[in-house]
Structure 1
Amino acid sequence: MSSPDHEFDPDDNFRQAFDDEDEMDLDDTEALVWNLLVLINPGDEETALRQFAAYREAGGEDGIEPDQVLWTLKDAIDWTSGFHVDWKDTESFIDCINQLAARYAIEIDWGGDTSDEDFLDGTDVPALMATAYDRLREHGYSLWNWNTDGDAYAGWMALSRDDEGMQQLAAVMGVEIRPGSDAF
């Protein structure tokens, strides 16, 4: 499988790639998804290709409905390049972020014993997300979260040097994102 023809360069002014009047077609959406996968899998094109294949397979011949793009992508990246946890599931959040960080040999100092029930009961996912955001920034990564419009938290991590490109790409995709220090 080869990557889409549209490569994302965070240094480009990506917002000008589409006019406001233009309707995005399937190829445009797939190019945007590919660009996001490249950003959240820095230096790991093999994983990005595998996730892109899973995303495309989920859409079948008809493709993915515009309102399902992010949810389909969530399923393709979950626990490898992204997270999606229930609003109160602090243990799963810690486990997932530890797994994401381990890809880049980063260990998160959560500020307490993550196997201690009292520690887990005394915190929440937004506080843990802010801690992870701060710790990842020390290593040149940013933790992002997107608006699930529900009782869950979801997001991904990428290189901090790509922060502007991530924000531009999310805007073009119509995805509301925030840094992990500012949970939805």
Structure 2
Amino acid sequence: MSPSDDDFDAEHSFDEDEHGDDSVEARVWQLLLLINPGDEETALQQFAVYRDAAGHADEDEPIRVISQVIDWRSGFHVDADDTRTLVQAIDELTSRWNLSVEWDGDPDDDDFHTDVDVPSLFATAYDSLTPYGYTLWAWETDDGSYAGWMTLTRDNEPLRELATALGINMRLGTEVT
């Protein structure tokens, strides 16, 4: 069974009663739609990979499988002090919508990376994307690394609801510590 627009509507907040399906798969599908705004094809591809991977995984937490499925296309997961990879990952995400982040310096310059940390880069990217109607999110990892994705700002509340339902602790890009 594949998801259909009738069952999953990305324009509305997630509500078990409204959609009639409170399964983890239904929630993951909705999440994939939110982090792939306007790109249902990519969401469908990722959902198919998620379903296959989830069937073979021993994980109780869907975020671990989601993270693998979306990495470097719709999300990222970087080491705690790897500012270069974070900039590259966010630049990759924003390029999907022909956006770019004003990094307040040249990320290709070595000195740039000695003067910044991951939380400040998250905040810079968040502030740069907000005027265009996008929100940069971070989700908590249990290994000290940083992970995140982008959504349309209008989808902030549905994302928060879905993240809570999936057990994902989310923060706005400006709240990363």
Give TM-score, length-normalised by structure 1. 0.87
Q: Does 1:48 align with 2:43?
A: yes
SS at match of 2:8: coil
Instruction: Give the Å deviation of 1:127.
Output: 0.5
Aligned equivalents of 2:60, 2:101: Cα separation in 1: 35
Aligned partners of 1:15 and 1:169 also within 8 Å: no
1:40 partner amino acid: I
* Structure-to-structure mapping, 1:94-113, within 5 angstroms: 94-113=87-106
Aligned match of 1:34 in 26, 29, 46? Answer: 29
Aligned equivalents of 2:173, 2:16: Cα separation in 1: 23
Q: Does 1:58 align with 2:53?
A: yes
* Structure-to-structure mapping, 1:116-131, within 5 angstroms: 116-131=109-124
Instruction: Give the Å deviation of 1:2.
Output: 3.1
Gaps of 5+ in 2: none
Give TM-score, length-normalised by structure 2. 0.90
Aligned partners of 2:72 and 2:89 also within 8 Å: yes
* Distance change >3 Å, CA 3–CA 63, structure 1 → 2: farther
Give the match for residue 78 of structure 1: 71
* Distance change >3 Å, CA 182–CA 145, structure 1 → 2: same
Gaps of 5+ in 1: 19-23
Aligned equivalents of 2:136, 2:58: Cα separation in 1: 26
Aligned equivalents of 2:60, 2:99: Cα separation in 1: 35
Aligned partners of 2:13 and 2:161 also within 8 Å: no
Listed one character per residue, the Cα deviations across residues 60-84 of structure 1 (whole Å, up to 9, x for unaligned) are: 3x666322x1011000001100010
Aligned equivalents of 1:122, 1:39: Cα separation in 2: 33
Aligned equivalents of 1:77, 1:111: Cα separation in 2: 28
Aligned match of 1:171 in 164, 168, 177? Answer: 164
